[in-house]
Chains A and B, each alone.
Chain A
């Protein structure tokens, strides 16, 4: 029985297929686990390990290097406030402090209702609309305390659902190219490389 549900098994298999070496799918697969479970669960890491041909410890060891992969549950909405230089100059630390107050949690913590986790982030590459705030890695562009609070209540009321899916869902556009059926040079090369790597090990 496969770990992934709702068509995600097919996407997992596609991820394994599109890379010349299967371990390359490790991080995309971790994102896929987060989409399904909301965070990178233990069982999910075991499934990723099996698909990539590595041990679960290797998956955990890799995943813990990365800020976006959460091995503990987080809220439905991961709120990131940037305090790096351009945002600092625009009051990023003050906005973060405001966010702590209005959500009632410290940085790194999750609200009791499980809706929001607050993070202080590094530069999010949107420095002209500062301070920058992302929710589940979508730019929400709430630069004032008032805008921030309005967004929070909108999210509490279930708003913006299509724009901001719950935490873990990253790329919603499917790769709709079926490479397995592609008789071309690319697929041939990829298969040859796979065979060569598998022959070595």
Chain B
């Protein structure tokens, strides 16, 4: 296969070694999108984003234009940018904040103008020490060049951006937990309704929460028009998207690809992209972060598009794809993913808090050859308690969707690789060890 000739929308600058500097930013069209936006009305900017059909890149894939339209009108409202990026195997925002923080700041300023908010926050996970510094530098640069602060480029529009460090908690990626963290509290997700951020968000005021990648698309969209963006991709999945490829591939990394025009197989095997599986072949892939149900070799020809993946019973989620080769122990993989959820459950809801820990203990004893035949039914039963019916998308009995995401990997592993679980029990050890 060959790559489509779609432009690089958000990683064009990242090819330069000095992509993070103000000089490179200004030499490569930096602030052109913002300057154009400021000549338009806020409504006209919103209309372009709407026409682009830009789906949120944080995981849920909600159209940004529609989200903006839902913002409750009030004297004070906020824009909060989600750079928590803690979904396992997701590492695309990492690239955007380290390599092109100016683009992010420009995008945030465009969004703030469109929404007419005067205060925005960029929340980054605390482990991004360099990213935090780069974004602060970009903010300082923007102030110095008149792209931020009072009366931006003489337009009369004013904005301040504060970069806010997290302190190590996956759950703060959930937007209402993020707002709690930003208010100086524990990252406990809020109950929706009533706490939809667009109605009752930061400090109780209406708030838009958008992902780092979502924001980074805005300079290009404003400059080239929403229609040009919507002309790329297909169906609801427009534009390009960053795919973070990891696991058993020759060339793991972040690839910007036109939506829908390529398949999982292309991404994994194309010499210009993943370059194939070094040892053996694909056994299973995780298509959109560890919350997503797994795909198998016969599903590799599914296109990389939001609805295309959803129709096949999983999700494109955060755009991260993990490849597991034929030598992978699936019990061990499911155990480690479950251990993650049990460590990161915030503890507010009983099924999530108790269920995740119990599941992890059962998987651990199975992996170590101390499991019992009844354990398989026990695992599925516990999963069913967290997400009744084990369907996709899962039923939610908890405050947020972390809980209902826990069964995905366990259910996938047992459904497809039951004999591997049985081998652990009958052999009294991990057959792969």
Contacts and interface: CB of A to CB of B under 8 A. Distances in A.
Counting contact residues on chain A (CB < 8 A from B), the size range is: 35 or more
Nearest to A170: B129
B136 to A, nearest CB: 4
A138 B76 contact: no
Interface string B175-202: 0000001111111000000000000000
A138 B89 contact: no
Given A20-B119, A31-B126, A88-B332, A125 B143 contact: no
B145 interface: no
A83 B335 CA distance: 12
B118 A189 contact: yes
A134 interface: yes
Interface in A126-172: 126-128, 130, 134, 136-139, 170-172
Q: In this complex, which of A54, A61, A66 has the most chain B Cβ atoms within 10 angstroms of its Cβ?
A: A66
B254 interface: yes
Given A62-B184, A67-B167, A85-B286, A170 B126 contact: yes
A149 B84 CA distance: 30
B252 A52 contact: no
B34 to A, nearest CB: 17
Contacts of B90: 123, 125, 127
Interface in A61-100: 61-63, 65-69, 83-86, 88-89
Nearest to A84: B88
A50 to B, nearest CB: 14
Given A137-B127, A171-B132, A184-B150, A26 B89 contact: no
Nearest to B332: A88
Interface stretch (B4-12, B258-266, B308-316, B337-345): B337-345
B336 interface: yes
A62 B151 CA distance: 37
Interface centre among A63, A83, A128, A172 (most CB of B within 10 A): A128
Contacts of B220: none
A177 B142 CA distance: 10
Contact of B119 (A61, A68, A186): A186
Given A23-B183, A137-B126, A85 B168 contact: no
Contacts of B182: 24
Nearest to B324: A89
B184 A128 contact: no
Given A86-B322, A88-B333, A186-B118, A69 B91 contact: no
B130 interface: yes
A67 to B, nearest CB: 3
15 contacts: A23-B185, A28-B165, A68-B127, A69-B167, A84-B89, A84-B337, A85-B247, A86-B246, A88-B332, A122-B86, A128-B252, A128-B253, A173-B140, A175-B140, A175-B163
Q: Which 8 A-B pairs have the closest CB atoms?
A: A184-B150, A67-B168, A26-B184, A66-B167, A68-B168, A23-B184, A128-B252, A86-B246
Given A27-B181, A84-B340, A177-B143, 9 more contacts: A19-B162, A68-B167, A69-B167, A84-B336, A123-B88, A125-B90, A173-B134, A177-B149, A184-B158
